[in-house]
Structure 1
Amino acid sequence: MSEREATETAAATGATAAAPGGPPRDPAHDPAPEPSGASAVPGDAHDTVEAAVRAQLSKALGGVRGMIEAAVPTIGFTATYVASKDIKLAVGVGIGAAVVLLVLRVAQRTSVQFVLNSLVGIAIAAFFALRSGKAEDAFLPGIMLNAGYAAAMIFSIVVRWPIVGFIIGSVTGDPTAWRSDPGIVRLCSRLTWLLVLPCALRVAVQYPIYLASGDQSGLLGPAKIVMGWPLQVAALATMVWLLARGRTPLPAGEDADEPESA
């Protein structure tokens, strides 16, 4: 058989000539070429600002359970004090509720972050109330904290570094790249205003009650509960509605793992 005939016979049987100096290669066993543009991005990668903010806010607040855990100790403290007028008993119930929630988290081997936040908050409130002997003083740290949050977020908007923008930075891997896009800065400013609103409303309603003469804990307790997680949920629902209306691409090229929006 001539060399040419041998070559044609090998091709007919599906064998492929090897490169000089290399072993024979069978196309049937070669891996399929990876399609162009294939991405190793996980299925939950975010390609828009809106998707990234929704995911990060949910993570930051701990979802529905996290918000409920933040409210339960306050509800226990307020209800107990209104019923008994005993500060020490009310403090004990509030801290006890936080400890029970913490034990449940530990038993379920889930994150204790949000319960610890609640426990620290009720402990600070208890310190203020026990030190003065006035139940309404338990609500003063929360009023001060909301005033501080509101002031800090408003300042961030005024200087065009809105707090929500850093959520974008945490996703793209570059904490400041989002500022190069005016559209993203405007979106983050609007979202930050929605976070300011609950804080400002709490201060505007609760601080005058706190300053009023007499024991105001019977009013402050319900005001804190109603203006706590329900008001926060309303603000977040508005944010979700706003985010659902747009598809602002994440800053292109800042994170190799993030796909560009179509």
Structure 2
Amino acid sequence: MGGFTGLVATTLPVLVLVPVNSAYGLQPALLAALAVAVVVLLWRLARKESLQPAISGFIGVAFCAAIAWFMGDAKGYFVYGIWYSLILGIALVVSIVVRWPLVGVIWRGINGEDQRWRTNREAVRGYSIATAAWAVLFLARFAVQQWLYLQDSTEALGYTRIAMGWPLTILAVLVTVWAVRKANRAEEGSQEGPEVTRYEQFSDQP
């Protein structure tokens, strides 16, 4: 939702946190991560871009830093993201099971459209595929990062978060674009069907 700069706003603090923590300890690492989040915020402000992604990113970094400070361990910075991935992954799976795939609900909601697509089986299947791609992404993140968290591998956890961030997100976006187009074509076809039928019936009359 935050675009390229949104990804940057969430990735740079992690890139700073891990090496600074290894070299200087927890408190300097958390301060460095917060400082990077502030720089990103000021950069977007100077460019007169939307501040929502940067503000959200800063709040997220501050919240994660607070957890790490409270736990007294840098790996605490990743706790929120790990469990957020699990909760969101489960929510996505449940939405598919109840035939309200979240990608379809969100996509139509963003575009101010109704939810009549749920009456079209092919459209539901297309949005379910897109939703499943995101479910796999988030559940995979949880499984791998939670394992590293339990192994106390803070450095590996940081780099894995980045590695499972951009590449998997790009892959999920590509699947989503394909599936959403498939769903839209299916719905457009169902809307055109009755008109064609009425035309053919009319043309057959003497």
The aligned counterpart of 1:119 is 58
Write the letter of the residue equivalent to 2:12. Answer: V
The aligned counterpart of 2:23 is 83
Q: TM-score, normalised by structure 1?
A: 0.66
Distance 2:57 2:172 in 1: 20
The aligned counterpart of 1:186 is 125
- Counterpart pick for 1:165 among 104, 120, 129: 104
Match of 1:248, SS state, is helix
Write the letter of the residue equivalent to 1:180. Answer: T
Distance 1:245 1:83, change over 3 A: farther
Write the letter of the residue equivalent to 2:186. Answer: T
- Residue by residue, what CA displacement relative to the aligned partner does 1:132-184 show, whole Å, maximum 9, x if unpaired? 1111111111101000110111111110000011112442532x212111111
Dislocated runs of 4+, deviation >6 Å? none
Deviation at 1:229, TM superposition (A): 2.2
Deviation at 1:71, TM superposition (A): 1.1
Structure index of larger Rg: 1
Unaligned runs of 5+ in 1: 1-60, 254-262
The within-5 A match list for 1:16-165 is: 61-84=1-24, 86-165=25-104
Task: Assess if the C-alpha contact under 8 Å between 1:157 and 1:192 holds in 2.
Answer: yes
How well do the aligned residues superpose, as a CA RMSD in angstroms? 2.1
Deviation at 1:234, TM superposition (A): 2.1
Distance 1:171 1:252, change over 3 A: farther
Distance 2:182 2:95 in 1: 24
Unaligned runs of 5+ in 2: 193-206
Distance 1:121 1:169 in 2: 25
Deviation at 1:65, TM superposition (A): 2.4
Distance 2:175 2:124 in 1: 18
Distance 1:160 1:140 in 2: 31
The aligned counterpart of 1:229 is 166
Deviation at 1:245, TM superposition (A): 6.4
- Counterpart pick for 1:239 among 176, 179, 182: 176
The alignment status of 1:248 with 2:186, answered yes or no, reads yes
Give the share of equivalent positions with the same residue, in percent. Answer: 32
Distance 1:73 1:230 in 2: 18
Deviation at 1:111, TM superposition (A): 0.5
Match of 2:186, SS state, is coil
Distance 1:221 1:152, change over 3 A: same
Distance 1:173 1:240, change over 3 A: closer
Q: TM-score, normalised by structure 2?
A: 0.83
- Residue by residue, what CA displacement relative to the aligned partner does 1:1-20 show, whole Å, maximum 9, x if unpaired? xxxxxxxxxxxxxxxxxxxx
The aligned counterpart of 1:45 is none
Distance 2:56 2:136 in 1: 22
Write the letter of the residue equivalent to 2:172. Answer: A
Task: Assess if the C-alpha contact under 8 Å between 1:153 and 1:163 holds in 2.
Answer: yes
Task: Assess if the C-alpha contact under 8 Å between 2:17 and 2:30 holds in 1.
Answer: yes
User: How many residue pairs were aligned?
Assistant: 189
The aligned counterpart of 2:146 is 207
Write the letter of the residue equivalent to 2:173. Answer: L
Q: RCO (CA 8 Å, sep 6+): is it higher in 1 or 2?
A: 1
Distance 1:241 1:159, change over 3 A: closer
